[in-house]
Chains A and B, each alone.
Chain A
Amino acid sequence: MKAQRRGWIFVPLAILLLVAVFPFFWMAISSFKPLGQLYSIPPQWLPNPPTMRNFEEVMFRSNIPRYFINSTIISLGSTLLALVFAIFAAYGFARFNFRGKSAALAFVLIGQLLPTATVIVPLYLVLSYFNLINTYLGLILVYLILTLPLSVWMLTGYFRSIPSELEEAAIIDGASRLGVLFRISLPLILPGIVAVMLYSFVATWNEFVFALSFATDRTMKTLPIGLAEFSTEFDIDWGAVMAASLLMTLPIAIIFLVLQKLFVGGLMSGATKG
């Protein structure tokens, strides 16, 4: 019944869809255009013939590959570190009652909402005190601000969704708390773990301000900074910028397209059950 009376919704849907995807397609198309076709009036819609020049520029004549590696190391490092801490914390929040629990949970949530710009100055001073400016470890630690609170929040929701009877049965059989956590609960929330890792990876992969402030050395910069820098050079090579943009988007796009259902599900359960 719905379907027959609502054929018209394809019109607003098509418009919205066009708005949503056009910039992405324009970026992809531009990255395959030779220079002459990038800077032509009127613009040429499709590259003819498509060229790999822009990608060669990015891969072999820029620092982007190095930034790509830096970003990967830092994102993976911070994601895994946050996961280890968050598994314990979330389990504690989900399974035990103690004084100050709701205050602690509220603090975690507020930590997630903290505007990053307001803490860059003291963090810079702390990092330089420990000689962690321009190091992988420095950014990995700082990125815990982004990854840890949400990981705790989401995982708490997942742990709560497992009936505690399962664990109680195991404890009666003589299992320890940690044994229960790792042998019974953790395998059950595996989808949640994946969702949390994806979220953390994406959040750190895209992070801009901390990277801009704490990784200033050419060998330590991350992809977002490299990209911004690419475009502020006096003579902007827009074809190369678009090619680098496409390369930076690919890992994220693949993660999301393959695991989209899981990701959205994870975000929801964290938000509603937490």
Chain B
Amino acid sequence: MTLRKISPGVWFILPTMLLLVGLIVYPMISTVELSVTDPAGTFVGLRNFNVVISAPSTKLILFNTLFYVVGSVIFQLILGILAGILLNQTFFGRALFRSLMLIPWVIPGIVAAMTWAWMFHTDYGVINFLLMQLGIISGPVGWLTNPNTVMPALVAVNAWKMFPFVAVMVLAGLQSVPEELYEAARVDGAEFRHEIWHVMLPQLRPVLFSVTLLLVIWALDGITIIYSMTGGGPANRSMIFPIQIYVQAFEYFEFNRAAALSVLYFVIISAVIAAYMRVFSLDRRD
């Protein structure tokens, strides 16, 4: 095949594709290789995997990761759908409301983390103060240091951070719902809540499908908030998989074990995504 026969389109995309192969494909292959060797480069089979899987903290880390992802996504969806539907209504000051509602999503993750860490402060935090004023708690709670509250607190931060993204997507999805559907529903005597349930939500399904997938992937990659607020503590009670990879690699310098964890994590994520796609497409057929 001569060069002339290659479509010019290939030449346009080639530099980018080569870069992405170097930045994504090569590191992934290299991770697999590292995961089955020792620091000297000798093949050791699945030993690294055995070590990381049998580590006593692994179960807790898996549970935390699951808790963080499921908890975050559920609250992001509920808050985001609610906000999206409300912001789609006609009311005075709508543009301003829409802009302000974006603030959590717009501010940097690390800034959100620091701000919430300050608000969660045991002695001087505004959250403890407000909850005590309202009589919901009787004494200060160490939100980020108490093993039982640390994960819910982090989920709350992540839910707060990303719900505007859901709201924006829902808002965009609602723009394309034909007015006739609402009119038809109203002729049948539908109330607002019926419109939400029978008109908006069904129409939003394709949007929510991709939004949920993105939220899951982002939560699975959610290092910033947890690492900067708790570092995975207290005693691993908020340690999640991606932070554990970082810790193994750059605090313990166990690159091969970190690689094994990476491969494991990648397989888990792929399985979750594949299962999600499958369930959804089965769902859509009926």
Residues of A within 8 A of B (CB): 2-3, 5-6, 9-10, 12-13, 16-17, 19-21, 23-24, 26-27, 30, 38-43, 85-86, 88-89, 91-93, 95-98, 101, 104, 107-108, 111, 113-126, 141-142, 144-145, 148-149, 152, 177, 205-206, 208-209, 212-213, 223-224, 227-228, 231-232, 238, 241-242, 245, 248-249, 252-253, 256-257, 260, 264, 267-268, 271
Q: Which chain B residues lie closer than 8 Å to A152 at the CB level?
A: 16
Interface-forming stretch among B56-64, B261-269, B275-283? B261-269
How many residues from B make CB contacts under 8 Å with A?
86
In the A-B complex, the 5 residue pairs with the smallest Cβ-Cβ separation, listed nearest first, are: A96-B9, A92-B12, A117-B242, A89-B16, A98-B7
Picked from A96, A119, A252, the residue with its CB within 8 Å of the CB of B12 is: A96
Residue of B nearest to A257 (CB): B99
Picked from B112, B214, B249, the residue with its CB within 8 Å of the CB of A124 is: B249
Complex contact A24–B124 (CB within 8 A): no
Task: List 28 A-B pairs, Cβ < 8 Å.
Answer: A13-B91, A16-B79, A20-B100, A20-B160, A26-B115, A40-B124, A41-B129, A89-B13, A89-B16, A92-B8, A113-B214, A117-B241, A119-B27, A120-B249, A120-B262, A121-B34, A122-B30, A125-B30, A148-B23, A208-B224, A209-B223, A209-B242, A213-B249, A238-B118, A238-B124, A242-B118, A249-B111, A256-B106
Complex contact A115–B91 (CB within 8 A): no
Q: Please report the C-alpha to C-alpha distance between residue A95 and residue B9 in the assembled complex, in whole angstroms.
A: 7
Residue of B nearest to A10 (CB): B91
Q: Please report the C-alpha to C-alpha distance between residue A96 and residue B10 in the assembled complex, in whole angstroms.
A: 8
Complex contact B106–A231 (CB within 8 A): no
* Interface presence of B138 (CB below 8 A): no
Q: Please report the C-alpha to C-alpha distance between residue A3 and residue B86 in the assembled complex, in whole angstroms.
A: 12
Q: Please report the C-alpha to C-alpha distance between residue A2 and residue B23 in the assembled complex, in whole angstroms.
A: 51
Complex contact A248–B111 (CB within 8 A): yes
Picked from A39, A117, A148, A224, the residue with its CB within 8 Å of the CB of B124 is: A39
Q: A23-B116, A98-B7 are in contact. List 16 more A-B contacts (CB 8 A).
A: A17-B97, A17-B100, A20-B100, A26-B118, A41-B124, A88-B12, A92-B12, A98-B9, A115-B217, A115-B221, A121-B255, A122-B27, A209-B223, A212-B250, A228-B110, A232-B231
Picked from A93, A142, A209, the residue with its CB within 8 Å of the CB of B23 is: A142
Report the number of A-B residue pairs with Cβ-Cβ less than 8 Å: 267
Q: Which chain A residues lie closer than 8 Å to B208 at the CB level?
A: none
Q: Please report the C-alpha to C-alpha distance between residue A10 and residue B92 in the assembled complex, in whole angstroms.
A: 10
Q: Which chain A residues lie closer than 8 Å to B112 at the CB level?
A: 23
Q: Assess A23 versus B119: contact at CB under 8 Å? Given A213-B246, A257-B99.
A: yes
* Interface presence of B53 (CB below 8 A): no
* Interface presence of B141 (CB below 8 A): no
Residue of B nearest to A245 (CB): B111
Q: Please report the C-alpha to C-alpha distance between residue A43 and residue B111 in the assembled complex, in whole angstroms.
A: 21
Q: Which chain A residues lie closer than 8 Å to B99 at the CB level?
A: 257, 260
Q: Please report the C-alpha to C-alpha distance between residue A91 and residue B114 in the assembled complex, in whole angstroms.
A: 41
Interfacial residues of chain B within 62-94, with CB under 8 A of chain A in the complex: 79, 82-83, 86-87, 89-91
Q: Assess A27 versus B82: contact at CB under 8 Å? Given A92-B11, A115-B220, A122-B30.
A: no
Residues of B within 8 A of A (CB): 6-13, 15-17, 19-20, 23-24, 26-28, 30-31, 34, 79, 82-83, 86-87, 89-91, 97, 99-104, 106-119, 121, 123-124, 126, 129, 133, 160, 164, 168, 172, 192, 210, 214, 217, 220-221, 223-224, 227-228, 231, 241-243, 245-246, 249-250, 255, 258-259, 262-263, 265-266, 269
Residue of B nearest to A239 (CB): B118
Complex contact B246–A212 (CB within 8 A): yes
In the assembled complex, the CB of A35 is this many whole angstroms from the nearest CB of chain B, namely 11
Q: Which chain A residues lie closer than 8 Å to B243 at the CB level?
A: 117
In the assembled complex, the CB of B223 is this many whole angstroms from the nearest CB of chain A, namely 5
In the assembled complex, the CB of B202 is this many whole angstroms from the nearest CB of chain A, namely 19
Q: Please report the C-alpha to C-alpha distance between residue A149 and residue B19 in the assembled complex, in whole angstroms.
A: 11
Residue of A nearest to B221 (CB): A115
Q: Please report the C-alpha to C-alpha distance between residue A268 and residue B174 in the assembled complex, in whole angstroms.
A: 13
In the assembled complex, the CB of B37 is this many whole angstroms from the nearest CB of chain A, namely 12
In the assembled complex, the CB of B3 is this many whole angstroms from the nearest CB of chain A, namely 13
Residue of A nearest to B23 (CB): A145
